[in-house]
Amino acid sequence: MLSKSQAKAFFLIGTTVFTLIFVGLTIDTFRRIPAQTNAAQLSESAIRGKHLFDKSNCMGCHTILGEGAYYAPELTKVFQRRGETFIKAMLKNPEAMYPGQRKMTNYHFSDQEINDLTAFLQWVGTMDLNGFPPEPDLVRTVSPTATMEKDVLVKNNDRPQVFNQMCIACHSLDGQGGTVGPALDNIGSSRDINFIKSWLKDPMAIKADSKMPKLPLSEEDITELAAFLSNLKGMNE
């Protein structure tokens, strides 16, 4: 049982010690901010993108750095999850990316504004947020239950990055992914590599009423995707 004077001393000493600890941790936090946010890499383009992000009220639908609304996808790691090509195409014309599906407003951004927003999202993704949110597992996003029993080219680590970032948004593989387009598990059984290349270059040139947009894919992307997709065949083939 503490006496009145002992209790007072305990309170004063305890308060002083924990106040000093709090002040020290606060100073340490501010000291770490420039390195953890990669402030030195914050370009003029990313700064313009931040102002445009706020002006367009993107947080009215999206969350970023833990703040915002939950109507649309989280954006802190969107650059790592979706990649530059997908982001720019989505900002250019959301409806073309998801015909009849997406509810994102087309803000009719200029090419410069799209570049600025993309630079901002890329910068945000490089921040060290002490594990928040977890780094996107692109393979698991595609197929968390995938097995290694299929053809060797269907193994998780053989999937092209562009497939994980773009194709899976609309198509599924091994039961995981989007439902806007058909499943791709056996696409190689019905379509050869030349058809797939032509389709990826311009779907509407082959099928005028195709819901798939002409994606901004490079020749390298098309070659890699066509090789991968043409080898997606049934277990018995």
Q: Say yes or no: 90 and 156 in one domain.
A: no
User: Does the predicted model carry a pTM greater than 0.85?
Assistant: no
- The model's pLDDT over 62-93, given as tens digits with 9 standing for 90+, comes to 999 999 999 998 999 999 888 898 899 999 98
Q: Say yes or no: 30 and 48 in one domain.
A: no
Q: Say yes or no: 121 and 164 in one domain.
A: no
Strand partners for 173 = 176
Q: Say yes or no: 169 and 223 in one domain.
A: yes
Helix (H) / strand (E) containing 67: strand 67-68
> What is the C-alpha separation between 200 and 220, in angstroms, rounded?
12
Q: Say yes or no: 152 and 193 in one domain.
A: yes
Say if residue 43's pLDDT is above 80: yes
- The model's pLDDT over 146-203, given as tens digits with 9 standing for 90+, comes to 343 333 334 444 788 889 888 888 898 888 888 888 999 999 999 999 999 999 999 9
Contact assessment for residue 52 and residue 116, using Cβ atoms and an 8 Å cutoff: yes
Specify if 132 maps to a domain: no
Q: Say yes or no: 66 and 87 in one domain.
A: yes
Q: Structural domain of residue 111, as residue ranges? A: 40-125
Specify if 102 maps to a domain: yes
Specify if 1 maps to a domain: no
